[in-house]
Structure 1
């Protein structure tokens, strides 16, 4: 299992910028979260993004904004004939908020984007591909010109991106995701919602299969087909994510937290937590 908490070290910088990254092979991704905001823009590729118990079918021109510590997974069906090309921007949302103080309407819009909604904020910007790609290209060119990071350039990037997104957000919902991209029904979403309600209990494939009215074999297979992962992997990730939250926000003992997330065996809980996060629960609490 990959580490679930993918720490992005910004250092003295406001943003971590990866422009036009390309993959020519199948990319299954993994469930993870970051301590900062992330913007993901898809230049080319097909696949899905899973966040907040929802699966989004994606294509060129889609932009995702993941709030801090929001669990998500990107699953791309890539190959030499259909590469996955994306730009990702990890950034310190507090610094961006501060830098936008002279632009109150865009600052308020940005605040709503990363604070005011559950899950990912998803935009289909395929209609303004040329505009947004020019914006990203110009910023990347300016970064190559100036060795030191420029807060002026960073702020200008966010002003442009916010303007493009706001113009695309015609219904004022901050979510212009085109519903015709999605499948009519995702069994995986039903399973993830069930896990959300029952992960603290003893979970069996029999209970899940009964809930979705499928055989155990078919329930397991369709979940993997739709998400690229197993039900057991998703269940583990959800439990560990909740354990991290409880370590952050409560004084409960490690034993008590294990019980609350459905892992009553303390040695096994510690072993699973260390494998997923890279450290023990107590060290995680101390360092975070």
Structure 2
């Protein structure tokens, strides 16, 4: 199957927490990548994970860390006898780094996990599984509350997790000579759009920001993500719109203008293409 870019919308958050979930239904598996870090902790199941041109088993006690823009595939053979049980966490790595600033050893470890080409990122936790499981469960209790969104709680969670990771990493991986993954232009573009998606003349402003031509910005983004800049921008705006429809009473017209659509009809048609519902239908359903 072909690879696909799967953007994660953080809406200003640092973590997107998907609660521990168990399923006995087979799922469609495809190669994909995100603009962020992804953590996958497996509590049970069978199948395979393809990562960095290697295949790893899905089984209890496996922890996978997918780097930003790293192509991977998770193929779980979920059945009634062997359900697939896991927790998935998406981490906005750019927002997390300042949280770890006061802890240089843990910050350096996080950066290696997030950027190093030579760092192992598929771990059979063994006896350390219980420590990671407890870390996940402690944070999950309030992951979706205001407390869970605070810098303090996120930092505590990540520091605990990184402390366990430090214990299980081979000594040789502590070397500072690791080869670091080059930041892609698309990462810079997405980071800029994260804060400026409501602007007009996005391509012109991006070209000026990156000191590149408009055409080069467009070509590089499509080459690195498989998506056009326009498609990504609309997807970003529509995801923000869905959040606003769920969490505010603002009118459709107001939301359209807030997120950068100059034409309300264009906003409604774009929203319907994504969710198969008009914005008002989505609001009432939500």
TM-score normalised by structure 2 residue count: 0.60
Inter-partner Cα distance in structure 2 for 1:80 and 1:62: 21
Tell which has more relative contact order, 1 or 2 (C-alpha 8 A, sep 6+): 1
Cα-Cα RMSD: 3.5
- The CA distance in 1 between the partners of 2:35 and 2:63, in whole Å, is 19
Match of 1:88 in 2: 88
**How many residue pairs get matched?**
198
Mark the runs of 5 or more structure 1 residues left unpaired by the alignment: 175-247, 262-275
How far apart are residue 146 of structure 1 and its match? Answer: 4.2
Matched, 1:251 2:198: no
Q: What aligned pairs does 1:15-94 form with structure 2 within 5 A after superposition? A: 15-94=15-94
Hey, what's the Cα distance between the residues in 1 that align with 2:217 and 2:106?
40
Q: Does 1:135 align with 2:100?
A: no
How far apart are residue 48 of structure 1 and its match? 0.6
Distance 1:145 1:52, change over 3 A: closer
SS at match of 2:135: helix
Displacement of 1:120 = 6.7
Distance in structure 2 (CA, Å) of the matches to 1:282 and 1:131 = 42
Separation of aligned partners in 1, 2:129 and 2:90: 21
80 and 249 in structure 1: CA distance in 2 versus 1, 3 angstrom threshold = farther
Structure-2 change in CA distance of 1:168 and 1:253 (3 Å): closer
Unaligned segments of structure 2, at least 5 residues:
175-212, 237-286
Q: Find runs of 4+ consecutive structure 1 residues off by over 2 angstroms.
A: 142-148, 170-174, 248-254, 281-288
SS in 2 for 1:82: coil
Q: CA deviation at 1:171?
A: 3.3
Q: Is the Cα–Cα contact under 8 Å of residues 42 and 85 in structure 1 kept in the other structure? A: yes
Residues 134 and 5 of structure 1: CA distance in aligned 2, closer, same or farther (over 3 Å) = same
